[in-house]
A and B are shown apart, each in its own frame.
Chain A
């Protein structure tokens, strides 16, 4: 595997389900990000992890719970979601400020909440 991978690519869940999104980066980076991409809206930053520590939470509802067990893996745990949470969830990673924190994105998980 190369770059940033995300699984699953597609997910359909009910409002009472619990599911998790997984992101893995193979670039040796030390920061990871979750973004939400909804139709007709700009990409929204959700969380930032640097060296496995959460450094930014962009006012995300508690039904989204991130986890970063190591610098290569990032999870987004989902529970009791709402239909408006349906979106493309993108993971990204970056190295330090030498490269301006240039972010490289995964292919995304298309989430549909019924």
Chain B
């Protein structure tokens, strides 16, 4: 069975500061990894994903995440956050051999960006 642990339930940070949201997963099989963001009263938006290839993946709005197989981690980072980045962030994992794409989600991390 797979599981995802997001180590911080809330991360407060000042605007323009760097941030790291931590995600660790447990799986006995090869995985795909995803980060989703959820703004208040909205659904989940795909932020970035790792399927294969380069272990460093980037989003269009400045976030990046690095797949570390030995540490079973997929931490999300941004060098300088904006007020508009305030949201809940979910890390998710799926079995790369799955024929359904079933996602297992972490509990979420609330990023609170303060002015």
A48 and B100 contact, CB distance less than 8 A: yes
Which B23-68 residues sit within 8 Å CB-CB of chain A? 32, 34, 36, 42-46, 49, 51
B43 and A101 contact, CB distance less than 8 A: no
Specify which chain B residues have a CB less than 8 angstroms from the CB of A92 in the assembled complex: 44
Specify which chain A residues have a CB less than 8 angstroms from the CB of B79 in the assembled complex: none
A55 to B49, CA, bound (A): 24
Known A55-B99, A100-B49: A43·B94 in contact at CB below 8 Å: no
From B10-18, B70-78, B104-112, give the one contacting chain A: B104-112
Q: Does A90 contact B (CB under 8 A)?
A: yes
Specify which chain A residues have a CB less than 8 angstroms from the CB of B99 in the assembled complex: 50, 55, 97
A104 to B42, CA, bound (A): 13
B interface bracket (residues with beta carbon within 8 Å of A): 20 to 34
B101 and A43 contact, CB distance less than 8 A: no
B94 and A42 contact, CB distance less than 8 A: no
B101 and A104 contact, CB distance less than 8 A: no
A97 to B99, CA, bound (A): 7
Specify which chain B residues have a CB less than 8 angstroms from the CB of A50 in the assembled complex: 99-100
A79 to B47, CA, bound (A): 35
A31 to B4, CA, bound (A): 23
Q: Which of B4, B90, B101 contacts A100 (CB 8 A)?
A: B101
Closest to A50 in B: B100
Specify which chain B residues have a CB less than 8 angstroms from the CB of A103 in the assembled complex: 34, 46, 101, 103
A99 to B102, CA, bound (A): 13
A43 to B102, CA, bound (A): 12
> Could you tell me the distance in whole angstroms from the C-beta of A4 to the nearest C-beta in chain B?
8
The chain B residues found within 8 Å of chain A, CB to CB, are 4, 32, 34, 36, 42-46, 49, 51, 90, 94, 96, 98-103, 105-108
Closest 9 CB pairs of A and B: A101-B101, A105-B43, A100-B51, A105-B44, A43-B105, A107-B43, A100-B32, A42-B105, A48-B100
